[in-house]
Amino acid sequence: MWGRALAGALPGFFLAAALTGLLAWCAPGPWQDAVVPSLIFFVPTWMLILGGAFLFADARRAWGWLTAAAALAFALLGALKTLGWVL
Amino acid sequence: MKPSSTTLRTFTTVHTWVGLAAGFALFVAFYAGAITVFRDALPLWQSPHRLDRVQWLGDAQRLLDGVLERHPEARTHMGMLFPGGELPQSIAYWQDKTGVWQFATLDDLDGNAQRPFTELADLVNELHYSVGLPVAGTYLMGLVSLLYGVALFSGLLIHWPKLTKDLFALRPGRNLKQFWQDAHNVIGVLSLPFHILFAVTGVVLCLVFVFASALNPLVFDGKLMQALPAALDTAPQRPVANVPAAPRSLSFWYARSVEAARAQGLDAFEPAYLKLANAGDANAVVEVTGVSSRSLGPQGSIALAAASGDVLASQLPGHRDANHATLASAYALHFGDYGNAVVPWLYFLLGLGGAFLFYSGNLLWIESRRKRRQLQQSRAAISMGRATVGVCIGLCVAVSAAFVAAQVFEAAAPTHVDAGIRWTCFASWGACVAWAAVRSPAQAARELLWAAAAVTAAVAAAHGIVSGQWLWNGSASGVGIASFVDAIALAMSIAFAMLARATAYRMRHGDPNSIWASGGARR
């Protein structure tokens, strides 16, 4: 139980942060134009991940998948920024 | 999709423990939140004699001039309420040299750190967003709201297979646990959209700056803090010109903002408060915030050059950017400040319904651990019963006691209203918790419910004795708002008395193998 809860809280936090970043940067216009909706988006996203982490069969899988997803999402965000495809 | 039995078991455990961890604080948040819906009525109820005269803009102008003359710090930045909106009288506020907010009225131009008229409303509001704990309370409530979101998610998932079949099932009868479970489910499901809304906006309101600091380096390249002023404020930052210029009058700004709103198609824009920066300077800016109906985010604002009255910027319903539209809607949705007069009542009922949800959650935990074949119940069940009764019903007693104290102190010691209501509230709450700790859960429930009924009835009585406004003559003398607070108090007093009688009936006639039976709570 605690293992999956922590997976939602730690890698889950970073996954929610990266998804918030993707939403903020990929939305049309500079991210500054919709920073309030982006910040609000972070909250239900993290909540869903905190709850959804218990859908994994055990703590190892929860940590593995959520860490991988967070890393992937940050890599995607970083690539988009570096390539200059988003404002 | 039907979740597997392992998933259901996992999520039942998650729901139970997250619910128990957050349930007590959420009961407080929802009960106090239900009352906070009517926060604007409380000052008039608390101190009618201090608010009996409705001010006009001329009075507010004298307040503004007096504050700016006496307090140089207020010239940098100050705010004030227009009279007749939130309160009949105007209040001006600014931060002193040490950063502490000061509040002044026309009768007290020197200012005071305690906001006048709203002591009771502020106390109930603090209970709502921080359980009354200073500083850490807000973070605690943010964390609790986060757990509340997880509880909603897990609760929905557990209930999912039976969601449609059991939606309107409320089965009274021999199986009382089923009845409580049905009540818990139906309130949870029918108010789910609002519960999701409260959970999300609750976390946002309590923790947004914590999250902003964390997300700033992670995804916003450290540029978030520069972006926030433009996203949150209406008035642009204007440098001080260091050239003195006579500001226009308050009534000019008022008329100018109404006119500017009408130019954008808003016929009913009512200025509620203003923010004034660099008063007396040629580049002084005044930001007038007001309310227009027919919008989900009714609050909008207009920034004017204080000296010329030129419109510098505006964020009004229908004409604002994504940031301001979302912010105004999120606020209004959390506080029920949109729509017509039905919405506050809906939010009041949602608040009480939410409080019931957390109370019944604790009862279900106790019930599902009940030993059905013996009088002796587990220690954990008895302790949970005591804690639930002491904290939850104790809070109802404490809030009503604070209302009574507000009337008593207004009459006897008007300078000590704030301290008086706080001491009364927290002392009576502590006393209720202590009382529940030494009684059996059933006795404590019955006695504290009677106490709640008596103290809540005393709310209306104290107001009647002190102000001479009773339910039957209050509306006639033009203070209908005050008598409506009394009417709610009396209705709630009757409800507490009915619950007390039901608890007593349960003690005598219910299943004896339970902590709620008269002999069932021996250790």
pLDDT score of B268: 87
Report residue B318 as tokens: 């229908």
Cβ of A21 and B215 within 8 Å? yes
Closest-CA distance, B186 to chain A, in angstroms, reads 21
User: Which of A17, A25, A32 is closest, CB to CB, to B218?
Assistant: A17
Closest-CA distance, B154 to chain A, in angstroms, reads 7
List B108's β-bridge partners, or say none: B105
Whether the pLDDT of residue A8 is over 90: the answer is yes
Whether the pLDDT of residue B90 is over 90: the answer is yes
Cβ of A35 and B321 within 8 Å? no
Cβ of A17 and B7 within 8 Å? no
Q: Confidence band (pLDDT; 50, 70, 90) for A86? A: confident
pLDDT score of B502: 93
pTM over 0.90: yes
Q: Chain B residue closest to A35 (CA)?
A: B323
Whether the pLDDT of residue B478 is over 60: the answer is no
pLDDT, average across residues B244-259: 93
Q: Mean of the per-residue pLDDT values for chain A? A: 94
Q: Chain B residue closest to A38 (CA)?
A: B323
Q: Which letter does DSSP use for residue B39 in this model?
A: G
Query: Which residues of chain B make contact with A25, given a CB cutoff of 8 A?
Result: 219
Cβ of B322 and A20 within 8 Å? no
Kindly report the number of other CB atoms within 10 A of residue B135's CB atom. Answer: 8
Distance CA B115, CA B104 (A): 8
B95 phi and psi, to 5 degrees?
A: -100, 130
Which tens digits make up the pLDDT trace of B306-346? Answer: 999 999 999 999 889 999 999 999 999 999 988 888 999 99
pLDDT score of B40: 87
Whether the pLDDT of residue B112 is over 70: the answer is yes
pLDDT score of B169: 81
pLDDT, average across residues B86-97: 92
Output the CA–CA distances (angstroms, integers) from residue B476 to B40, B299, B479, in the order listed.
20, 32, 7
Q: Choose from A13, A33, A47 for mutation: most chain B CBs within 10 A.
A: A47
List B93's β-bridge partners, or say none: B79, B103
User: Which has the closest alpha carbon to A3: B14, B96, B230, B196?
Assistant: B14
Higher pLDDT, A53 or B471: A53
Cβ of B215 and A18 within 8 Å? no
A9 close to B (CB below 8 A)? no
Distance CA B452, CA B435 (A): 13
Burial (Cβ within 10 Å: 0-12, 13-18, ≥19) of residue B354: buried
* Alpha helices by DSSP H, B370-479: 379-388, 394-412, 417-438, 441-467, 471-474
A44 close to B (CB below 8 A)? yes
* Alpha helices by DSSP H, B220-340: 224-232, 250-263, 322-335
Q: Which letter does DSSP use for residue B219 in this model?
A: H
Report residue A60 as tokens: 């190892």
Q: Choose from A32, A45, A76, A82 for mutation: most chain B CBs within 10 A.
A: A32
User: Which has the closest alpha carbon to B19: B368, B500, B330?
Assistant: B368
Cβ of B200 and A1 within 8 Å? no
Please, what is the angle between helix B342-368 and helix B176-190, to 10°?
A: 140
Percentage, residues of chain B above pLDDT 70: 97
B277 phi and psi, to 5 degrees?
A: -115, 135
Cβ of B219 and A35 within 8 Å? no
- Could you tell me how many CB contacts below 8 A there are between chain A and chain B? 97
Q: Chain A residue closest to B206 (CA)?
A: A43
Distance CA B434, CA B448 (A): 11
B437 close to A (CB below 8 A)? no
**Contact indicator for B301, B273 with CB cutoff of 8 Å:** no
Whether the pLDDT of residue B52 is over 50: the answer is yes
Q: Chain B residue closest to A17 (CA)?
A: B215
Whether the pLDDT of residue B3 is over 80: the answer is no
Closest-CA distance, B222 to chain A, in angstroms, reads 12
Which residue type is seen at B91? I
pLDDT score of B267: 87
Higher pLDDT, B355 or B116: B355
Which residue type is seen at B247? P
Whether the pLDDT of residue B523 is over 50: the answer is no
Look at residue B173 and give its three-state secondary structure: coil
Burial (Cβ within 10 Å: 0-12, 13-18, ≥19) of residue B471: middle
User: Which of B11, B220, B323 is closest, CB to CB, to A54?
Assistant: B11
Q: Confidence band (pLDDT; 50, 70, 90) for B520? A: low
Q: Which letter does DSSP use for residue B77 in this model?
A: E
Cβ of B219 and A51 within 8 Å? no
Output the CA–CA distances (angstroms, integers) from residue A79 to A83, A84, B12, B216, B465, in the order listed.
6, 8, 41, 18, 71
Which tens digits make up the pLDDT trace of A21-63? Answer: 999 999 888 999 999 999 999 999 999 999 999 999 999 999 9
Look-up of token digits 């706080």? B422
Report residue B248 as tokens: 């226009």
Which tens digits make up the pLDDT trace of B345-354? Answer: 999 999 999 9
User: Which has the closest alpha carbon to B489: B45, B26, B24, B18?
Assistant: B45
B140 close to A (CB below 8 A)? no
Q: Confidence band (pLDDT; 50, 70, 90) for B484? A: confident
Q: Mean of the per-residue pLDDT values for chain B? A: 91
B309 sits in the region (left: phi over 0; alpha: psi -120 to 50; else beta) called: left
